[in-house]
Amino acid sequence: MTIQQDSSLEDYVQKKVNEVLKSNLPIEKDLDLIKNGLDSLGIVQLILSLESEFEIEIDDEDLILENFLTIEKIVEFMTTKYEIDYIK
């Protein structure tokens, strides 16, 4: 894992979502990402980034919109399914 020690999973997801959306603005953790510009290609980019960073493979049955709708949902999915905790 290459996340800095003072960073969190939420910070990492925020950074990656900003990269996909080509934005530097803070995104509220409960903001609907789909309604705010995250398209199917962006979701794929985000999934590939998560898989690469955390050395996991997200199961096909988990590739549902609800798991990637908000930053909060992504973090909840990653912590529940893959036991990836916040890094402090």
Is 17 a domain residue?
yes
CATH number (domain holding residue 43): 1.10.1200.10
Give first-to-last CA distance, the chain, whole Å.
Answer: 14
Q: What is the pLDDT of residues 43-86, one digit of tens each?
A: 999 999 999 999 999 999 999 999 999 999 999 999 999 998 65
Is 30 a domain residue?
yes
Q: State how many domains the chain has.
A: 1
At 60 the three-state DSSP class reads: helix
Is 20 a domain residue?
yes
Angle at 25 between CA 19 and CA 29, to 5 degrees: 85
Task: Provide the domain limits for residue 76.
Answer: 9-82
Is 75 a domain residue?
yes
> In terms of DSSP H, where are the helices of 22-88?
40-54, 71-82
Q: What is the pLDDT of residues 9-49, one digit of tens each?
A: 999 999 999 999 999 889 999 999 999 999 999 999 999 99
Tell me the residue type at 55. E
pTM of the model: 0.86
